[in-house]
Amino acid sequence: MRVAIIGGTGHIGSYLTPRLFDAGHTVICVSRGLRTPYREHAAWRAIERVEIDRTAEEASGTFGERIAKLDADVVIDLTCYRLESAQQLVDALLGRVGHLLHCGTIWVHGPSVEVPTTEAAPRTAFGDYGQRKAAIEAWLLSKASELPVTILHPGHLVGPGWAPINPTANFNPAVFSRLLEGKQIQLPNFGMETVHHVHADDVAQCFVKAVEHRSAAVGQAFHVVSPAAITLQGYAERVSAWFGRPAQLQFLSWEEWRQGVSERDAAVTWDHIAHSPNCSIAKARTLLGYEPRYSSLEAVRESLDWLIEQRVVGN
Protein backbone atom coordinates (compact mmCIF):
# COMPACT_ATOMS: atom_id res chain seq x y z
CA MET A 1 0.00 0.00 0.00
CA ARG A 2 0.93 3.61 -0.37
CA VAL A 3 1.23 5.03 3.15
CA ALA A 4 1.70 8.72 3.97
CA ILE A 5 3.02 9.40 7.45
CA ILE A 6 2.72 12.92 8.84
CA GLY A 7 5.56 13.59 11.29
CA GLY A 8 7.50 10.52 10.27
CA THR A 9 10.92 11.55 11.62
CA GLY A 10 10.12 11.99 15.35
CA HIS A 11 10.13 9.58 18.29
CA ILE A 12 7.52 7.26 16.80
CA GLY A 13 8.25 7.94 13.13
CA SER A 14 11.94 7.07 13.47
CA TYR A 15 10.77 3.49 14.03
CA LEU A 16 7.46 3.49 12.18
CA THR A 17 8.60 4.89 8.85
CA PRO A 18 11.28 2.19 8.29
CA ARG A 19 8.98 -0.51 9.70
CA LEU A 20 6.31 0.36 7.11
CA PHE A 21 8.91 0.19 4.38
CA ASP A 22 10.20 -3.16 5.63
CA ALA A 23 6.61 -4.44 5.65
CA GLY A 24 6.53 -3.82 1.89
CA HIS A 25 4.63 -0.53 1.74
CA THR A 26 5.50 2.51 -0.33
CA VAL A 27 6.13 5.18 2.28
CA ILE A 28 5.87 8.96 1.96
CA CYS A 29 7.23 10.79 4.97
CA VAL A 30 5.82 14.28 5.56
CA SER A 31 7.65 16.77 7.78
CA ARG A 32 9.24 20.19 7.56
CA GLY A 33 12.60 18.47 7.00
CA LEU A 34 14.13 20.12 10.06
CA ARG A 35 14.80 16.98 12.05
CA THR A 36 16.74 13.86 11.28
CA PRO A 37 15.35 10.53 12.51
CA TYR A 38 16.59 9.25 15.87
CA ARG A 39 18.22 6.24 14.27
CA GLU A 40 19.85 5.26 11.02
CA HIS A 41 18.09 2.78 8.79
CA ALA A 42 18.82 1.80 5.21
CA ALA A 43 15.13 2.26 4.37
CA TRP A 44 15.46 6.05 4.61
CA ARG A 45 17.25 6.12 1.28
CA ALA A 46 14.17 4.66 -0.43
CA ILE A 47 11.53 6.63 1.43
CA GLU A 48 9.98 9.58 -0.34
CA ARG A 49 10.36 12.76 1.72
CA VAL A 50 7.83 15.55 1.27
CA GLU A 51 8.43 18.86 3.01
CA ILE A 52 5.25 20.50 4.26
CA ASP A 53 4.86 22.87 7.20
CA ARG A 54 1.55 21.80 8.68
CA THR A 55 1.11 24.94 10.76
CA ALA A 56 1.61 27.27 7.80
CA GLU A 57 -0.48 25.18 5.39
CA GLU A 58 -3.29 24.78 7.88
CA ALA A 59 -3.37 28.53 8.38
CA SER A 60 -3.84 28.98 4.64
CA GLY A 61 -6.35 26.10 4.52
CA THR A 62 -4.24 23.98 2.17
CA PHE A 63 -2.81 21.29 4.42
CA GLY A 64 -5.59 18.73 3.96
CA GLU A 65 -5.47 19.06 0.20
CA ARG A 66 -1.66 18.71 0.14
CA ILE A 67 -1.98 15.40 1.99
CA ALA A 68 -4.90 14.21 -0.16
CA LYS A 69 -2.84 14.90 -3.29
CA LEU A 70 -0.21 12.43 -2.12
CA ASP A 71 -2.71 9.85 -3.30
CA ALA A 72 -2.09 7.50 -0.38
CA ASP A 73 -4.21 4.49 0.51
CA VAL A 74 -3.40 5.03 4.17
CA VAL A 75 -2.58 8.22 6.09
CA ILE A 76 -0.95 8.07 9.52
CA ASP A 77 -1.21 11.35 11.42
CA LEU A 78 1.33 11.64 14.22
CA THR A 79 1.14 15.40 14.67
CA CYS A 80 -2.48 16.36 15.26
CA TYR A 81 -3.09 18.34 18.44
CA ARG A 82 -6.18 20.41 17.66
CA LEU A 83 -9.69 19.49 16.60
CA GLU A 84 -9.58 21.97 13.70
CA SER A 85 -6.44 20.23 12.42
CA ALA A 86 -8.22 16.89 12.41
CA GLN A 87 -11.25 18.46 10.73
CA GLN A 88 -9.26 20.06 7.95
CA LEU A 89 -7.47 16.80 7.23
CA VAL A 90 -10.62 14.66 7.31
CA ASP A 91 -12.54 17.08 5.06
CA ALA A 92 -9.86 16.71 2.41
CA LEU A 93 -9.43 12.94 2.78
CA LEU A 94 -13.12 11.93 2.65
CA GLY A 95 -13.57 9.40 -0.14
CA ARG A 96 -9.90 9.69 -1.07
CA VAL A 97 -8.10 7.40 1.41
CA GLY A 98 -8.97 3.97 2.69
CA HIS A 99 -7.74 4.36 6.27
CA LEU A 100 -6.72 7.25 8.53
CA LEU A 101 -4.74 6.38 11.64
CA HIS A 102 -4.47 9.08 14.28
CA CYS A 103 -1.97 9.18 17.13
CA GLY A 104 -3.72 10.01 20.41
CA THR A 105 -2.44 9.65 23.98
CA ILE A 106 -3.39 7.85 27.18
CA TRP A 107 -3.95 11.38 28.57
CA VAL A 108 -7.47 11.09 27.13
CA HIS A 109 -8.03 9.39 30.48
CA GLY A 110 -8.12 11.34 33.71
CA PRO A 111 -7.79 9.66 37.12
CA SER A 112 -8.46 5.92 36.94
CA VAL A 113 -11.36 4.09 38.52
CA GLU A 114 -10.74 0.41 37.75
CA VAL A 115 -7.23 -0.50 36.64
CA PRO A 116 -5.90 -1.39 34.26
CA THR A 117 -7.97 1.22 32.45
CA THR A 118 -9.59 -0.05 29.28
CA GLU A 119 -10.44 1.91 26.15
CA ALA A 120 -14.10 1.62 27.16
CA ALA A 121 -13.61 3.80 30.24
CA PRO A 122 -15.52 7.09 30.03
CA ARG A 123 -13.19 9.92 29.04
CA THR A 124 -12.35 12.15 32.00
CA ALA A 125 -9.39 14.02 30.54
CA PHE A 126 -8.09 17.02 32.43
CA GLY A 127 -5.52 19.55 31.27
CA ASP A 128 -5.48 21.27 27.92
CA TYR A 129 -3.51 18.63 26.00
CA GLY A 130 -5.54 15.63 27.17
CA GLN A 131 -8.84 17.40 26.67
CA ARG A 132 -7.93 18.45 23.13
CA LYS A 133 -6.84 14.91 22.28
CA ALA A 134 -10.07 13.50 23.79
CA ALA A 135 -12.12 15.93 21.69
CA ILE A 136 -10.25 14.86 18.54
CA GLU A 137 -10.79 11.20 19.40
CA ALA A 138 -14.54 11.66 19.96
CA TRP A 139 -14.93 13.62 16.73
CA LEU A 140 -12.89 11.19 14.62
CA LEU A 141 -14.85 8.21 15.92
CA SER A 142 -18.08 10.05 15.13
CA LYS A 143 -16.87 10.29 11.50
CA ALA A 144 -15.84 6.63 11.23
CA SER A 145 -18.82 5.72 9.03
CA GLU A 146 -17.63 8.29 6.46
CA LEU A 147 -13.86 7.86 6.78
CA PRO A 148 -12.37 4.64 8.17
CA VAL A 149 -10.36 5.78 11.15
CA THR A 150 -8.29 4.17 13.91
CA ILE A 151 -6.82 5.85 16.97
CA LEU A 152 -3.79 4.60 18.85
CA HIS A 153 -3.13 6.01 22.35
CA PRO A 154 0.55 5.64 23.33
CA GLY A 155 1.91 5.93 26.86
CA HIS A 156 5.16 7.75 27.75
CA LEU A 157 7.40 7.28 24.73
CA VAL A 158 10.82 5.77 25.43
CA GLY A 159 13.79 5.05 23.20
CA PRO A 160 17.49 5.75 22.82
CA GLY A 161 17.90 9.38 21.81
CA TRP A 162 15.88 11.18 24.47
CA ALA A 163 15.30 11.11 28.24
CA PRO A 164 12.45 8.94 29.52
CA ILE A 165 10.10 9.88 32.34
CA ASN A 166 12.23 9.12 35.41
CA PRO A 167 11.34 7.62 38.82
CA THR A 168 10.22 11.02 40.10
CA ALA A 169 7.87 11.26 37.09
CA ASN A 170 9.66 14.07 35.27
CA PHE A 171 12.39 14.31 32.63
CA ASN A 172 15.30 15.51 34.78
CA PRO A 173 18.20 13.11 33.99
CA ALA A 174 19.96 14.08 37.25
CA VAL A 175 17.56 11.72 39.05
CA PHE A 176 19.10 8.78 37.18
CA SER A 177 22.60 10.08 37.99
CA ARG A 178 21.82 10.17 41.71
CA LEU A 179 20.50 6.60 41.64
CA LEU A 180 23.56 5.46 39.70
CA GLU A 181 25.85 7.08 42.29
CA GLY A 182 23.91 5.60 45.23
CA LYS A 183 22.72 9.01 46.39
CA GLN A 184 19.36 9.64 48.00
CA ILE A 185 16.40 10.81 45.96
CA GLN A 186 13.09 12.13 47.23
CA LEU A 187 9.80 10.70 46.06
CA PRO A 188 6.43 12.37 46.50
CA ASN A 189 3.88 10.66 48.76
CA PHE A 190 4.48 6.90 49.16
CA GLY A 191 6.00 6.39 45.73
CA MET A 192 3.00 4.27 44.82
CA GLU A 193 1.78 6.42 41.96
CA THR A 194 2.35 4.96 38.53
CA VAL A 195 3.81 5.77 35.13
CA HIS A 196 3.18 3.80 31.98
CA HIS A 197 5.95 3.82 29.42
CA VAL A 198 6.11 2.30 25.97
CA HIS A 199 9.07 1.84 23.65
CA ALA A 200 8.60 3.90 20.48
CA ASP A 201 9.32 0.78 18.44
CA ASP A 202 6.37 -0.97 20.08
CA VAL A 203 4.14 1.96 19.12
CA ALA A 204 5.47 1.58 15.58
CA GLN A 205 4.72 -2.14 15.69
CA CYS A 206 1.14 -1.42 16.71
CA PHE A 207 0.59 1.13 13.91
CA VAL A 208 1.83 -1.41 11.36
CA LYS A 209 -0.47 -4.05 12.84
CA ALA A 210 -3.42 -1.66 12.72
CA VAL A 211 -2.72 -0.99 9.03
CA GLU A 212 -2.52 -4.72 8.38
CA HIS A 213 -5.63 -5.60 10.44
CA ARG A 214 -7.71 -2.84 8.94
CA SER A 215 -11.14 -4.41 9.37
CA ALA A 216 -10.54 -5.07 13.10
CA ALA A 217 -8.98 -1.64 13.58
CA VAL A 218 -11.48 0.64 11.86
CA GLY A 219 -13.72 2.63 14.17
CA GLN A 220 -11.64 1.65 17.20
CA ALA A 221 -9.26 3.24 19.69
CA PHE A 222 -6.44 1.24 21.26
CA HIS A 223 -4.00 1.82 24.11
CA VAL A 224 -0.39 1.25 23.10
CA VAL A 225 1.68 0.84 26.23
CA SER A 226 4.06 -1.71 27.75
CA PRO A 227 2.51 -4.81 29.34
CA ALA A 228 2.49 -3.18 32.81
CA ALA A 229 2.67 0.24 34.42
CA ILE A 230 5.28 0.69 37.18
CA THR A 231 5.19 2.45 40.56
CA LEU A 232 7.68 5.24 41.20
CA GLN A 233 9.16 3.39 44.18
CA GLY A 234 9.56 0.14 42.26
CA TYR A 235 11.03 2.03 39.33
CA ALA A 236 13.62 3.78 41.52
CA GLU A 237 14.56 0.52 43.24
CA ARG A 238 15.05 -1.32 39.96
CA VAL A 239 17.19 1.44 38.48
CA SER A 240 19.41 1.42 41.59
CA ALA A 241 19.65 -2.36 41.41
CA TRP A 242 20.97 -2.10 37.82
CA PHE A 243 23.96 -0.27 39.30
CA GLY A 244 24.35 -2.72 42.19
CA ARG A 245 23.09 -0.30 44.81
CA PRO A 246 20.21 -0.24 47.25
CA ALA A 247 17.90 2.71 46.48
CA GLN A 248 18.19 5.51 49.03
CA LEU A 249 14.65 6.84 49.05
CA GLN A 250 13.04 9.53 51.14
CA PHE A 251 9.29 10.02 50.99
CA LEU A 252 7.88 13.51 51.32
CA SER A 253 4.40 14.97 51.18
CA TRP A 254 3.63 16.58 47.83
CA GLU A 255 3.96 20.10 49.27
CA GLU A 256 7.37 19.35 50.81
CA TRP A 257 8.56 17.49 47.73
CA ARG A 258 7.74 20.25 45.29
CA GLN A 259 9.81 22.77 47.30
CA GLY A 260 12.96 20.79 46.47
CA VAL A 261 12.66 20.79 42.69
CA SER A 262 12.30 23.33 39.90
CA GLU A 263 8.85 24.64 39.02
CA ARG A 264 9.13 22.91 35.63
CA ASP A 265 9.98 19.50 37.15
CA ALA A 266 7.22 19.88 39.74
CA ALA A 267 4.66 20.65 37.03
CA VAL A 268 5.69 17.64 34.92
CA THR A 269 5.67 15.35 37.97
CA TRP A 270 2.27 16.62 39.06
CA ASP A 271 0.86 16.02 35.59
CA HIS A 272 2.12 12.43 35.63
CA ILE A 273 1.17 11.44 39.17
CA ALA A 274 -2.22 13.13 38.94
CA HIS A 275 -2.88 10.83 35.99
CA SER A 276 -1.03 7.79 37.42
CA PRO A 277 -1.81 5.88 34.25
CA ASN A 278 -2.22 2.12 34.25
CA CYS A 279 -3.70 1.07 30.92
CA SER A 280 -4.76 -2.26 29.50
CA ILE A 281 -3.44 -3.54 26.17
CA ALA A 282 -5.84 -6.49 26.03
CA LYS A 283 -7.82 -4.92 23.19
CA ALA A 284 -4.80 -4.30 20.95
CA ARG A 285 -3.46 -7.77 21.75
CA THR A 286 -6.74 -9.44 20.84
CA LEU A 287 -7.82 -7.44 17.80
CA LEU A 288 -4.48 -6.43 16.29
CA GLY A 289 -2.03 -9.03 17.58
CA TYR A 290 0.01 -6.30 19.30
CA GLU A 291 2.72 -7.87 21.44
CA PRO A 292 5.17 -5.37 22.95
CA ARG A 293 8.82 -6.41 22.78
CA TYR A 294 9.74 -4.27 25.76
CA SER A 295 8.55 -4.10 29.36
CA SER A 296 8.59 -0.57 30.79
CA LEU A 297 11.89 -1.27 32.57
CA GLU A 298 13.51 -2.85 29.51
CA ALA A 299 12.56 0.19 27.44
CA VAL A 300 13.93 2.57 30.09
CA ARG A 301 17.13 0.53 30.36
CA GLU A 302 17.83 0.99 26.65
CA SER A 303 17.23 4.71 26.87
CA LEU A 304 19.28 5.03 30.07
CA ASP A 305 22.23 3.20 28.50
CA TRP A 306 22.12 5.77 25.72
CA LEU A 307 22.01 8.66 28.25
CA ILE A 308 25.04 7.18 30.03
CA GLU A 309 26.87 6.72 26.72
CA GLN A 310 26.17 10.37 25.89
CA ARG A 311 27.38 11.36 29.40
CA VAL A 312 24.06 12.99 30.16
CA VAL A 313 23.74 10.62 33.12
CA GLY A 314 26.48 9.63 35.55
CA ASN A 315 28.96 12.23 34.50
Which CB sits closer to ligand NAP, 37 or 180? 37
d(CA 269, CA 23): 38
- Which is nearer to ligand NAP, 74 or 103 (by Cβ)? 103
d(CA 231, CA 306): 23
Nearer residue to ligand NAP within complex by CB, 35 or 69: 35
164 binds ligand NAP (CB under 6 A): no
Under the criterion CB under 6 A, does residue 277 sit at the interface with ligand NAP?
A: no
> Among 19, 25, 156, 209, which residue sits at the site for ligand NAP (rule: CB under 6 A)?
156
Let me know: does 200 contact 158? Beta carbons within 8 Å.
yes
Q: Which is nearer to ligand NAP, 99 or 275 (CB)?
A: 275
> HSE on the CB side for 32, CA within 13 Å?
8
Residues 176/255, Cβ–Cβ less than 8 Å: no
Query: In the set 88, 105, 150, 278, which binds ligand NAP (CB under 6 A)?
Result: 105
- Choose between 49 and 143: whose C-beta lies nearer to ligand NAP: 49
Nearest-angstrom CA–CA distance, 186 and 192: 13
162's CB contacts (< 8 A; 6+ apart) are: 11, 38, 303
Residues 5-24 close enough to bind ligand NAP by CB under 6 A: 7-13
Q: Stretches 29-37, 42-50, 269-277, 278-286: which one binds ligand NAP (CB under 6 A)?
A: 29-37
Residue 53 interacts with ligand NAP (CB under 6 A): yes or no: yes
Dist. CA 130–CA 61, nearest whole Å: 25
Of 298, 268, 312, whose CA–CA distance to 176 is shortest? 312
Q: Say if residues 27 and 1 touch (Cβ distance below 8 Å).
A: no
- CA 315, CA 304: separation in Å to the nearest integer? 13
Beta carbon of residue 253, minimum distance to ligand NAP (angstroms, whole number):
28
Q: Which of 40, 48, 55, 315 binds ligand NAP (CB under 6 A)?
A: 55
Position closest to ligand NAP via CB: 10
Contact map string, positions 57 to 96, toward ligand NAP, x by CB under 6 A: ---------------------xx-----------------
CB 45 within 8 A of CB 234: no
Q: Is 110 in the site for ligand NAP (CB under 6 A)?
A: no
What residues line the site for ligand NAP (CB under 6 A)? Answer: 7-13, 31-35, 52-55, 78-79, 103, 105, 154, 156-157
